[in-house]
Structure 1
Amino acid sequence: MGSSSSKCPPTEEVTISSGRIIGRRFLHDSDKAVNAFQGIPFANPPIGERRFKKPEPCDTWEGVKECNAFGNRGMQVSSMYEKWKHGPVSEDCLYLNVFAPGWKSSNEKGFAVMVFIHGGAFVSDSTVKYGDTMLSKYLVTKDVIVVTTQYRLGFLGFWSTGDSSCVDNLGLWDQTRALEWVKENIEAFGGDPTNVTIMGQSAGGASVDLLSISPISRDLFHKVIPMAGNGSADWATQENAVERCREWANQKMKIDDGGDSKEFISKLRLEAATKFATSMNVKPNASVKEGIQIGPRIDGLFFPRPLAELRKEAGIKPRMVGCCQYEGLMFMIAVMGKKNRSAFESVIAMMIPESVTDFKKKRDEMLEEFMKEDDLTKSMANLFSDLFLNVSCQQFVLDWLATGHDQIYLYTFDYFNEKSWGPLGYVMPVKGATHCSEIPYILGKGLIWDFDLNEKDIEMLEKVTAAWSNFAKFGNPNGENGENPLGVEWKPATKEFPMRCISINWESTMQEEFHGGRPMRWIEYRKGL
C-alpha cells in the first residue's frame, strides 16, 4: 500500500541491523524535511512453521531495500473498499515505519522517540490508517521521531492452548520485538534510544500499559501514553481465550483439539491464514469485556504474576492517560430510543452486580443521579462512557499512584469537529468527542472519517502535538520551561488529588474532578469485586 505522499525525493541510505534501506523525504521543499521509511520488516514473516511462535529478528538482505510504502495489514476481515483504500491483508505483517527529522538534533543524544501502537480491539486496523505526511508535518517537526508499528491480530495474534504448545500473547511479543528493533536501530535515524515513549489508542492504549507492566518489555522504553484504553480496563485481558480459540477452530475449520495441543497446533498451521481473520464485535447489551472477541491473556510468561503485583515491580515512569468526552457513543447507537428508566437500570446492574455489598442501595443512588438530568440522552452517553472507559482511566491513576508514582497527567479530550464523523454524524445521538476523536489532533489523520481540517482544527493540532511531544522529550506536557501549549498549566493527578485532570478543548481548563467525579464514585461503589 503506498503512501499518501508522492513525487518525494529519496533519502540518503541508512544502515540498520538487517541491511541498508532508503526512504523518501516528505516536506522536502520546506526547511524541516522529514525522512520517511515505510514498510521496514522488524521480524521474519510469521508464516508456515513460524505461525504461533515468537517473532524472530529479521534476516539480513543484500543491496538496498526501498522502504517507501506501508507493509501488509495484519489478518482481519476487510471490505473491498478497505482493501482498496488501505491495502492487502496478510499473515506477513510485521512491518514498522520510521518518520525522522531531516535535521540534526540540538540534543547531543539525539531526538526523543515516540512509538505508536494502533488499536482495533486487538483484531483489526493497521499503521496505514493513521497516515504519514500529516504526522510528519505536525508531530515530527516538533523535534521527535515517530515510529508506527504493526503486530499480529485476532486469533493469529492471541491464540492460546493454555500450555506450551502455543505461545500466548503473540501480538504483545510482536510489539516487544518492534521495541527491541527501535532500541537496536533508532540511532541510525538520529534518535535517542534512552528516551523512548510508547503511546497507543484504544486496544493500543491497553497494549502500551500492559507492555509497561510485563518484565519482558517494560525496560525497553521510558514514558507511557495510553489513550482511550489501558490495562486497568476489564476488557484489556481475556479469561476465556483458550475456550474461544477451541470454539473458533471447531466452527471455522472443523478441527477439534482432541486433547493433544501439539497435534492441534500442527493441524492449525496447515490452515489458510484467512480462516483466522475476524473483526470488531461490539455487543452493546453485554459487558464491554464480552465484546472483545480475543486478546491478551495472563499467561504465566509474558505476565508471570497477576497484573497488580507486576505493577508494583514495574518502576517509576512518567505517564499520561485519558479518554474523550463521550467514549460510549458507539454503544448507544444500538439502544437509541431506549432512554427510559429500565434502560438505565439494566446498564447500572452490569456495573454494580449483586455480589457488591448493599448493591440495591448503590444501584438506586446511581440511577437517581442519572435520571435527575434534563437530557437523558446525554445521561445515557455518560453512563455508557463510564462503563467503557471513564472508570478504567480513573482506576489506572489509582493503580499507579498506589505503586509509588508521584504524578500522572490525566486528561479528558473534549474538542471535536462534527465533520470528523462523516455520515455517522446523522445517527450519533449526542454531539461531542467520542472514541477516536483525539487521533486527528495527535496524528493529523481522521480515523472515523477522512475530513479536511479547518483553521481551528489545525490550531488545535498544533497545541496538542506540542503537549504530546513535550511529554516525550521532557516527561512534562507543559514543556521544559513551562510554555503550556494548551494555554493552561497541566497539573498532574497525585495521591492528594487523584481526580485532577485537564479538559482539552479550544480553551482548555483544569478540573478537580475527572468526569464530574462519577468514575471515582463507581469505583467506591464497586469495591470488593
Structure 2
Amino acid sequence: MKSSVCVFLFYLAAVMAAEEWREVKIAQGTVRGRKHPDKDLFVFYSVPYATTPVGLDKFKAPLPPPQWSEPYDAINENVACPQNELLSALANFTFNIKEDCLIANVYVPETDKKNLSVVVYVHGGGFILGFGNMMKPLHLLEKKDIILVTFNYRLGVHGFLCLGTEGAPGNAAMKDQVALLKWVHNNIASFGGNPDDVTLIGSSAGSASVDLLMISKAAEGLFHRVVPESGGNLAAFTIQSNPLENAKLFARQLNFTHLDDICALEEFYTTIPLELLISDAFFDRTDSTFLFSPCVERDTEGAFLTEAPLSIIKKQNYKKLPLLYGFSNMEGLFRIDFFDSWKNKMNVNFSEFLTPDLKFESESERKKVADEIKKFYFGEKPVGNDGTIAYVDYFSDVLFTHPMLWAAKYYAEGGNNQVYLYEYSFVDEDTPLVPHTGVRGANHCAQTMAVMDSGDETKLSQKYQDMKKTMREIWYNFIKTGKPVPEGSSLPAWPAAGPDRSPYMKLNEKLELGGILLDERTRFWDNIYEKHYREPEAPPAPPKCQEKS
C-alpha cells in the first residue's frame, strides 16, 4: 500500500512539474509559458510578434501584433504559415496552418540570471516550406546562459510576390523577419535576454535570409553575430532575377491571360484564394531556383532591399559583423533524388540547368557556356551513373558553395576580418552511400543537423555523438564570443579568412585547418560570373491602378 501511495505521489508531482508556468510581462500584455517536459527550461509557444495582413493586403508588410488584457497562454506548439503539402509528405511533420501565422517561440532556461545571450534561428525550406519549430538547437541552452527564439515568416508566393505595386511591393516575408527582430529587441529583456547580444543563425533558405539581413539597412543594429549555414545572399535561388516575369509565369500556370496588364495581375494575385497560391512547391525546377524568393524592390518607403546584394557588398555599404560561414562537402545531394530523370536532360540540353543570374548575348553563346560548364564537371563523356559525384558537385556549387565563397571574398576584401570559413565533411556508417558509388558525403545542411537536437541521441553512433558535441561547442563559442575558437579553448586555432578564401576549418572527427577552400571550382565560377553575371532587376514603376473597394 505504501509503495502504491509513493508511486501515485511521484506521478502527481511529475504532472504538477510538467504543468509549471512562468508569466512574463511584454509590451502586448502578460504571456504565460510552460515548463518543458524534458528540459530545464520554459517554453512560450506561438507568441504573436506581428499580425499578418489578409485579403487584398495579403502581400503587404506585417502589421503590429495584437494586445491582450488577460494572460495569454502560449501553448500552441506547431503553428505554420500557409504552404504546399510537400513538407508534410516528405518529412511527416504535423503542424497547424494558419493565415495569421507570424508567431515566435521563446525558449528560456530556468534561471534567475538576466542579460542572457539570445539566438534567433531562421528556418529553411527553400523560401517555400517550413516553420519555426521544425528544428531546434536546445542543447545550446544547457549552460542556462542562452535564450532561443524560433519563428515563422510567410512563404512562397504569399511571402515573396514582388510586383512593385502598392498591393504587392515585394519581400513581405523579409519584412516579417525584420519585424521579428524588432520584437526581440523590444521584448527579449522581459524574458531575461540581452537585446544587445543577439546571434542570428539560419540554415538553407534561412541561411540566405540571415546573409541578406546582414546587408539590409532595415535590419541594421538588431543583431550582432551571424551564422549562415549553407545558403548565401548571392545565390540564384536567393534573389529573383526578374520578379515580374516570375509572377507572370505562375499566373499563366494558373490560367491568367492578361499578363501585360500589371493592374490586372495585381488584382488576380490579391483576390485568388491562398490554396491556389500554395498549389505548386516549385521544387523540381532545373534552374536551381524555387521561383519566388526575396527581390530587389523599388526604392519606396518600407523597402527591405533596393540594391543588388553584390553591389551592396562591393560598396561595403553594410555593417561588418562576426561571421561563421560555411557548408557541407556534398551539398548537391540535395538534388540527388532527381539524378535518374535529370541526367538524360543534361545530355540533351545542359542549358536548362543554368541559373537565371547568368546572361548571354545569344542562344549560341548560352549553349557554348553550358557546354563549357558540362565539360568542366563531366569531361567529354555523357552524364551517366559514373558521373554521380560530378552531378553532386555541380549542384553544390551553383546552389551553395560558390555563392558563399564569392561573398566571402568581398567580405574579406572589404575589411571584415571576422569571417570564419569552414567545410563540414563528417560521415559515419549510418550515412547513406551516394547512389552508384561507394562514397559517403555530408548532405545539405549536415552541419545544421549536427548542432540540432536529434531525439534520443544515445541511439546515434559514438562518433556522431562526439561530432555533435564538438559542433555545439564551436557554435556556443561563437554565440558567446564571436569566435568559433576563443583563446583558452582546447580546439585547434581557427584564424579568420582573407580575400583568397583561406584558411578554412575542416570540420570532421579531427579538426584541421585547410588552405583555399574549393579553389579550382570557385575560380572556374568566378570567371563565369565575371563575364556573364546578370544583376537582379527591380520591378518597373507601375501605372496608377484603380482602387479596389
TM-score, structure 2 as length reference: 0.81
Matched with 1:333 is 337
Deviates more, 1:207-216 or 1:518-527: 518-527
Q: Deviations over 1:450-501 (max 9, x none)?
A: 995343323222221221121121110113x3314xx322222113x52321
In structure 2, what residue type is equivalent to 1:21? V
Q: Which whole-Å CA distance do the structure 1 matches of 2:254 and 2:325 have between them?
A: 38
Matched with 1:512 is 515
Deviation at 1:171, TM superposition (A): 0.6
71 and 328 in structure 1: CA distance in 2 versus 1, 3 angstrom threshold: same
Q: Which whole-Å CA distance do the structure 2 matches of 1:187 and 1:144 have between them?
A: 12
Please give the residue correspondences for 1:269-348 in structure 2 after superposition, counting only pairs within 5 Å.
269-278=270-279, 280-283=281-284, 286-288=286-288, 291-300=289-298, 301-311=303-313, 312-336=316-340, 346=350
8 Å contact 2:287–2:353 — kept in the other structure? no
One of 35, 41, 52 as aligned partner of 2:42: 35
What secondary structure, in the 3-state scheme, does the structure 2 residue paired with 1:330 have? helix
Matched with 2:127 is 122
Deviates more, 1:347-356 or 1:385-394: 347-356
Deviates more, 1:499-508 or 1:245-254: 245-254
326 and 343 in structure 1: CA distance in 2 versus 1, 3 angstrom threshold: farther
Q: Deviations over 1:199-254 (max 9, x none)?
A: 11111111111111111112211111111101021221002322222343344374
Q: Which whole-Å CA distance do the structure 2 matches of 1:370 and 1:509 have between them?
A: 35
326 and 364 in structure 1: CA distance in 2 versus 1, 3 angstrom threshold: closer
Deviation at 1:178, TM superposition (A): 0.4
367 and 157 in structure 1: CA distance in 2 versus 1, 3 angstrom threshold: closer
Q: Which whole-Å CA distance do the structure 2 matches of 1:173 and 1:362 have between them?
A: 40
Q: Deviations over 1:89-134 (max 9, x none)?
A: 23221111111222244xx6x1111111111111111123214xxx
Deviation at 1:310, TM superposition (A): 2.5
Q: Which whole-Å CA distance do the structure 2 matches of 1:379 and 1:142 have between them?
A: 44
2:487 is the alignment partner of 1:453? no
Deviation at 1:404, TM superposition (A): 1.8
Deviates more, 1:424-433 or 1:412-421: 424-433
One of 77, 81, 87 as aligned partner of 1:70: 77
What secondary structure, in the 3-state scheme, does the structure 1 residue paired with 2:22 have? coil
One of 111, 119, 141 as aligned partner of 1:103: 111
Please give the residue correspondences for 1:165-314 in structure 2 after superposition, counting only pairs within 5 Å.
165-252=167-254, 254=256, 256=258, 259=261, 261=263, 264-266=265-267, 268-278=269-279, 280-283=281-284, 286-288=286-288, 291-300=289-298, 301-311=303-313, 312-314=316-318
Matched with 2:496 is 492
482 and 317 in structure 1: CA distance in 2 versus 1, 3 angstrom threshold: same
Q: Which whole-Å CA distance do the structure 1 matches of 2:273 and 2:98 have between them?
A: 11
Pairwise CA RMSD: 3.6
Deviation at 1:428, TM superposition (A): 8.8
In structure 2, what residue type is equivalent to 1:509? E
Q: How high is the sequence identity, in percent, across the aligned residues?
A: 25
One of 29, 41, 60 as aligned partner of 1:53: 60
Question: Which has the greater radius of gyration?
Answer: 2
8 Å contact 2:434–2:441 — kept in the other structure? no
344 and 513 in structure 1: CA distance in 2 versus 1, 3 angstrom threshold: farther
What secondary structure, in the 3-state scheme, does the structure 2 residue paired with 1:438 have? helix
Deviation at 1:9, TM superposition (A): 3.1
Q: Deviations over 1:370-412 (max 9, x none)?
A: 98xx974333322332222121121021121232212311111
What secondary structure, in the 3-state scheme, does the structure 1 residue paired with 2:69 have? coil
Please give the residue correspondences for 1:73-152 in structure 2 after superposition, counting only pairs within 5 Å.
73-78=80-85, 85-105=93-113, 110-131=115-136, 135-139=137-141, 141=143, 143-152=145-154
Matched with 2:10 is none
2:412 is the alignment partner of 1:404? no
Matched with 1:384 is 395
In structure 2, what residue type is equivalent to 1:168? G
451 and 174 in structure 1: CA distance in 2 versus 1, 3 angstrom threshold: farther
8 Å contact 1:42–1:177 — kept in the other structure? yes
In structure 1, what residue type is equivalent to 2:376? M
8 Å contact 2:162–2:297 — kept in the other structure? no
Q: Which whole-Å CA distance do the structure 2 matches of 1:435 and 1:279 have between them?
A: 22
Question: Which structure 2 residue ranges, 5 or more long, are not aligned?
Answer: 1-13, 533-549
Q: Which whole-Å CA distance do the structure 2 matches of 1:429 and 1:154 have between them?
A: 37
Deviation at 1:298, TM superposition (A): 0.6
139 and 416 in structure 1: CA distance in 2 versus 1, 3 angstrom threshold: farther
Question: Which structure 1 residue ranges, 5 or more long, are not aligned?
Answer: none
Q: Deviations over 1:311-361 (max 9, x none)?
A: 311021111111111011232332349889x859948994897769x9699
Q: Deviations over 1:476-527 (max 9, x none)?
A: 0113x3314xx322222113x5232111111121110213542234324542
One of 414, 439, 450 as aligned partner of 2:448: 439
Matched with 1:527 is 530
8 Å contact 2:59–2:158 — kept in the other structure? yes
8 Å contact 1:329–1:428 — kept in the other structure? no
Q: How many residues align?
A: 500
Q: Which whole-Å CA distance do the structure 2 matches of 1:317 and 1:244 have between them?
A: 33
Q: Which whole-Å CA distance do the structure 2 matches of 1:369 and 1:293 have between them?
A: 30
Q: Deviations over 1:255-280 (max 9, x none)?
A: 7467352x654554443221111454
Q: Which whole-Å CA distance do the structure 1 matches of 2:450 and 2:91 have between them?
A: 25
What secondary structure, in the 3-state scheme, does the structure 2 residue paired with 1:494 have? coil
2:164 is the alignment partner of 1:162? yes
TM-score, structure 1 as length reference: 0.84
Q: Which whole-Å CA distance do the structure 2 matches of 1:281 and 1:360 have between them?
A: 23
Q: Which whole-Å CA distance do the structure 1 matches of 2:151 and 2:437 have between them?
A: 31
Q: Which whole-Å CA distance do the structure 2 matches of 1:152 and 1:454 have between them?
A: 37
470 and 283 in structure 1: CA distance in 2 versus 1, 3 angstrom threshold: same
427 and 19 in structure 1: CA distance in 2 versus 1, 3 angstrom threshold: farther
8 Å contact 2:109–2:141 — kept in the other structure? no
260 and 308 in structure 1: CA distance in 2 versus 1, 3 angstrom threshold: closer
In structure 2, what residue type is equivalent to 1:271? I
Deviation at 1:13, TM superposition (A): 0.2
2:489 is the alignment partner of 1:483? yes
130 and 359 in structure 1: CA distance in 2 versus 1, 3 angstrom threshold: closer
8 Å contact 1:14–1:188 — kept in the other structure? yes
In structure 2, what residue type is equivalent to 1:444? D
8 Å contact 1:321–1:411 — kept in the other structure? yes
One of 497, 504, 513 as aligned partner of 1:501: 504
8 Å contact 1:139–1:465 — kept in the other structure? no
Q: Which whole-Å CA distance do the structure 2 matches of 1:467 and 1:118 have between them?
A: 20
In structure 1, what residue type is equivalent to 2:318? A
Q: Which whole-Å CA distance do the structure 1 matches of 2:399 and 2:234 have between them?
A: 11
8 Å contact 1:362–1:525 — kept in the other structure? no
